[in-house]
Amino acid sequence: MNTLLLKSVGEIASESPEKIEIFKKYNIDFCCGGNKTLKEACEESGIDATLIAGEFNAVSEYGGGKNKNYIFSRKANDWNVDFLIDYIVNIHHTFLRVRLPEAEEYTEKINRVHGERHPEIIKIRGLFLKMYQALTVHLDKEEKEFFPLIKNMKASEIQKEINDAERDHEYVGHILKEMHALSSGYSVPKDACASYSHTYGLLRDIADDIMIHVHLENNILFKKI
Ligand SMILES: [Fe+2]
Ligand SMILES: [Fe+2]
């Protein structure tokens, strides 16, 4: 128990990705706040660490088989850096490049139809647009500048790129937290139409995917290099 408390949440997520479900349940940030120990993270969020440890035991029985992202992110520990980069770009960057424009269209549509009765959706769209813009720049920078530097082992320039990337991740993480709060965890209001539920479903998928994506970068890739 004590050794577990002193482990960082990023390390716990890398070793046993199925525990990510518990971090999500208690709003413990394991991707941008991955360097904090479990003890620190629990203290900050006012959560009893023994409760979390108990839930960890229950969840490990399932072996993380429920979510394919967890299966792959467990394997990511064994992948070499070049393969991990290709995986991040081909799976997670591709996902965002398809889903972000779709969510842009849908948030615009439900703003028009429901914005008056649901002012939170106007704020959510504003935040989404900021995130969309930041991520577009971020993905391009990783693909064209940062990741090629890693592949070509330009060690002297890598640290600055890591700092920049972590700062971008944190910015996106803040936006996701706000969007989550404004939408009450993406729960669809009773008077919502099909587009409304589709939009919230999209935003939830995007948020979940970004969490794993940032976890692979911050806690696995950056630790390897
Ligand atoms: Fe990325
Ligand atoms: Fe990134």
Identify whether residues 9 and 88 lie together within a single domain: no
Count: domains in the chain? 2
DSSP secondary structure letters along the chain: -HHHHHSBHHHHHHH-GGGHHHHHHTT---STTTTSBHHHHHHHHT--HHHHHHHHHHHHTTTTTT-HHHHHHHHTTTS-HHHHHHHIIIIIIHHHHHHHHHHHHHHHHHHHHHTTT-HHHHHHHHHHHHHHHHHHHHHHHIIIIIHHHHHTT-HHHHHHHHHHHHHHHHHHHHHHHHHHHHTTTTPPPTT--HHHHHHHHHHHHHHHHHHHHHHIIIIIIHHH-
The pLDDT, as a whole number, for residue 60 is 62
Ligand 1 centroid distance, CA of 214 (Å): 7
159 neighbors 174 (Cβ within 8 angstroms): no
Identify whether residues 88 and 64 lie together within a single domain: no
Residue 143 has which token pair? 């693909």
Ligand 1 centroid distance, CA of 45 (Å): 27
Ligand 2 centroid distance, CA of 54 (Å): 32
The pLDDT, as a whole number, for residue 66 is 65
CATH number, domain with residue 49: 1.10.3910
Identify whether residues 54 and 80 lie together within a single domain: no
Ligand 2 centroid distance, CA of 138 (Å): 6
Identify whether residues 113 and 216 lie together within a single domain: yes
The pLDDT, as a whole number, for residue 34 is 86
Domain boundary among 50, 71, 92: 71
Ligand 1 centroid distance, CA of 140 (Å): 9
Q: What is the pTM of this model?
A: 0.86
The pLDDT, as a whole number, for residue 65 is 55
Mean pLDDT by 10 residues, the chain (225 residues): 85 88 87 89 88 80 64 89 96 97 96 92 97 98 95 83 95 96 93 90 95 96 92
Identify whether residues 116 and 14 lie together within a single domain: no
Q: What are phi and psi of 28, to 5 degrees?
A: -90, 125
Domain residues for the domain of 63 are 2-71
Domain boundary among 41, 71, 101: 71
Ligand 1 centroid distance, CA of 96 (Å): 10
